[in-house]
Amino acid sequence: MSASAAANPRVAAAASPAPTAIDAEGISFSYGERKALDEVSFTIVRGEIFGFLGPNGGGKTTLFKLLSTLVPLQSGRVSVLGHDLAGETIAVRRRLGVVFQHPSLDGKLTVNENLACHGHLFGIGGASLKDRIGAVIDRMGLGDRRNDLVETLSGGLRRRVELAKALLHQPELLILDEPSAGLDPAARREFSDHLVRLRDNDGVTVILTTHHMEEAQRCDRIGLLHQGRIAAIAPPAELKARVGGDIVVVYAGVPEILQRKIQQRFQVAGRIVDGAIRIERARGHELVRDLVEAFPDDIQSISFGKPTLEDVFVHLTGHRFFADAPASEE
Amino acid sequence: MNEIIMQAGALWTREIRRFFRQRSRVTGAVLQPLVFWLLLGAGLGASFRPSGMPAEVGYSQYFYPGVIVLVLLFTAIFATISTVEDRHAGFLQGVLAAPISRSTIVFGQALGGTTLALMQGLVFLILAPLAGIRLDFGAIVMTAVMMAVIAFALTSIGLIIAWRIESTQGFHAIMNLILIPIWMLSGAFFPIAGAPGWLQWTMRINPLSYAMGALRQALYLAAPGAAGAAIAPMGVSIVIAIAFAAGAFVLAARTARHAPAI
């Protein structure tokens, strides 16, 4: 998934008249007084895996609800696969597969019954429904569990049934809300492999929201959402390249004083984020050595590493990813 | 049109399947009203004579059709209560993102609730001889039809509430404030004839009173005299009951159309 959208042959090969899957312009959304999205604009290309990354309360869930047609647009304009989201909602829904964060399966029904119910809601019945159920069950490896009640399945299996359900009507666009929430690392990896295969074999466009760096890392492109605005959109590698070199983090008793000392002695501007001095700099390991030698008594601890997406977030917003999350937006 | 039937049918099937897989619901919805009937019927029967009724009709018998409506009411409430939770973090999320209109969703839900209520009402109807009511074939058919109409109306009212509110706690409060009083003032519990004037008026504007009256008259098709003084002629009562059901459904569909999915 690390290939950029431009390098992805699927995107180039999609010679359909509309190469964009979603074109959104100036989306704003408020819950009463509180603004959840503020003038958000983006374009998602067909055949890419696009992740909206951001802390809780950043606006991801609201964006998911808007794009999956659960709540109506308040302002802005969105075109989904060439259809107007507000005016042609039913047409959009037919071509959209949605995977919810909270289970949308009926635990009292079997895997088969859940899928059949979903097929009927999309107007698919008879032999065609049977074929499609068989196909998605095979694809998701659910064959031996198809007649089990969903409430008896493990979390990972249930998520697979959710995906099978979302794929039953063969959507061109799949949108998932926090698909890895509640999954262990192995199940998360496996689930994300399914998404890659969908992109590669079926040309499905995948949009997901996440606050997992690891999951975001596997997307073709990422939109960083912070306080209802998009801070950046780019492939993960490109985002990381925006951070200058390595990341050195220094903890000190009085970080402001040490920050000034470092500035005077090494002409290095750090900034204080969440009580620690953060310095972005090429050849960070040399700086670590110099700092430890220069201020052995001031430094409580010091660390150094290659930039992660979390560092990108700090670099772009000046906020820590997890620390400043306001209450959940639900 | 075919698609709408398929969609509503999917939701209907789901309601029925769920119901039979939750055994406590099956027993609860019939047993609770049964206990009501036995205890209240026996307890009140000794000291309470329903006014305007023939001498041979005791309280247990008078109360019997009222309890049928209570069975329908409880089942309708059970069937709609899951809507509240389903909408935020459950099955309905997927339905709301499917190419199906809100009216069709409500229709499937109402049909499911009606079927469940009707099945349980029919189970309760087996006890009619115990209440001293003699049923013939015509009475059974007519009673079943009226039960279906009433169940559809009550489920629709439940859905109006369920699509409007945010939590199940809210549902219980509104249920006790609206649904139970509507039932109590329908002639289920006491006849309109003996009630004071202001209460009579309340009962007369309550549409469930007419549905209740039609059901009572349907039960006594084989022995018309024993039904006592009706609130309105049977034909009028049936028309009002059907209008009540249709009106409640239209309102429920409207509410659902304007309800946010979050």
Q: Are B10 and A103 within 8 A, CB to CB? A: no
List, for residues B153-184, the tens digit of each pLDDT value: 999 999 998 898 877 777 778 878 888 899 99
Amino acid identity for residue A174 in this structure:
L
* B6 vs A68, A70, A123: nearest CB: A123
Among B59, B66, B57, B56, residue whose Cα is nearest residue B44: B59
pLDDT exceeds 90 at position A123: yes
In sequence order, which residues have a C-beta less than 8 Å from that of residue A44 and are 6 or more positions away? A20, A21, A22, A23, A50, A205, A207
Cβ–Cβ of A109/B14 closer than 8 Å? yes
Q: Which of residues 161-200 of A touch B (CB under 8 A)?
A: 165
Residue A235: the pLDDT is 95
Flag whether pLDDT at A327 surpasses 60. no
Q: Tell me the nearest-neighbour CA distance from B12 into chain A, angstroms.
A: 10
pLDDT the model gives residue B261? 60
At A30-57, the pLDDT tens digits run 988 889 999 999 999 999 999 999 988 8
User: Do A108 and B100 make contact, defined as CB atoms within 8 angstroms?
Assistant: no
Contact A108 B18 (CB under 8 A): yes
ipTM of the complex: 0.87
Neighbour-count burial of A20, counting CB atoms closer than 10 A to its CB (0-12 exposed, 13-18 middle, 19+ buried)? middle
Query: What token pair was written down for A136?
Result: 């998605």
What pLDDT, in 10s, does the model give residues A273-299? 888 898 988 888 888 999 999 998 889
The mean pLDDT of A298-302, rounded to a whole number, is 90
- Residue B226 and residue B217: Cα distance in Å, rounded? 9
Q: Which of A125, A204, A102, A129 is nearest to B94 (CA)?
A: A102
Token pair in block for residue A17: 């008249």
The mean pLDDT of chain A is 87
End-to-end CA distance of chain B: 29
Q: Which of A98, A108, A118 lies closest to B17 in CB terms?
A: A108
Q: How far apart are CA B210 and CA A264, in angstroms?
A: 90
What per-residue confidence (pLDDT) applies to B47? 75
Is the CB of residue A71 less than 8 Å away from at least one CB of chain B? yes
Contact B22 A105 (CB under 8 A): no
Which residue type is seen at B204? Answer: R
The more confident residue out of B183 and B48 is B183
Residues of A in contact with B3 (CB under 8 A): 123
Q: What residue type is assigned to position B88 of the chain?
A: H
**Encoded tokens for A187:** 């199940």
B97/A68 Cβ within 8 A:
yes
Say whether B135 sits in a helix, a strand or coil.
coil
Bridging pattern class, strands A75-80 and A173-177: unpaired
pLDDT tens per residue, range B189-203? 888 887 888 999 999
Residue percentage of chain A with pLDDT more than 70:
92
Distance CA A263, CA B106 (A): 67
The rounded distance, in Å, linking the Cα atoms of B262 and B89 is: 9
B141 interface with A at CB cutoff 8 Å: no
Site from B91, B95, B101 to mutate, A interface, most A CB atoms within 10 angstroms: B91
Q: Residues of chain B with pLDDT > 70: what percent?
A: 98
